[in-house]
Amino acid sequence: MIGNFRLMAILLLVFSAFMSNAAAQDNSANDTQNAAVAPGDTTSASDGVRGIWKATLGEKEVILSVNRSTQSLFGLAKYEGETPWNAALSGFIDQDLVFISLGAVDGDALTSISIRANLVGENMSGFFVRSDSNGKASRGEFSAILINPDTSGYTPVAVLIAPVSSDKVEQAAADQTTVDQKNETASAVASDTTSEASAAIADSTNRFKDVTQLAKGINPDILPRMAPL
């Protein structure tokens, strides 16, 4: 009886120790989670990349509209300076590292801008590399600040299409006239060639007679008859 009591006491002590340890682990995990989302903590705010950002690319100020799907980033961008442009935005985020690519038509060149930045709260900082279809390239500092977490208010900039100069219009008309003249010359040559071929065929027909055609006009009664042998 005493042995059974001691065994029950040992089992109760082991069970109590196990429950105390489990409770301590749960409290530790909860504390860690609460610390990760504590107000004012900006060390891990990668989910805040979504929104409208006012960014600086070297000396240019641009607006970024960033949306997020898991780790992928997508959206739009615009430059409202002397030669405004709109751009397509794509990229991805890895923890607090943000990688963004912009593609735009800047003046007469197709431009690509690659950005690498660290995200800290509502700020991004890093560098960018720019290259265009004219062979120009540059590198500079990048920084951005979140101005609106809602991207629905973003509007592209109005870009005017450059009018075609009168010189280009005249040159295009002259080129078209040249093409028309070449087409007329080619048609005339082809017509002359066809006429010459027809004449050659007619001449050949006049010089060579078909004897079967000639036989149709001969009266068989006037042909000489062969004497019997």
Query: Is residue 89's pLDDT more than 50?
Result: yes
Q: Tell me the β-bridge partners of 63.
A: 54, 78
Contact criterion met (CB below 8 Å) for 184 and 107: no
Supply the pLDDT for residue 209.
Answer: 57
The pLDDT tens digits for 99-122 are 999 999 998 899 999 999 999 999
- Burial of 211: CB neighbours in 10 Å, binned 0-12, 13-18, 19+: exposed
Model confidence, pTM: 0.54
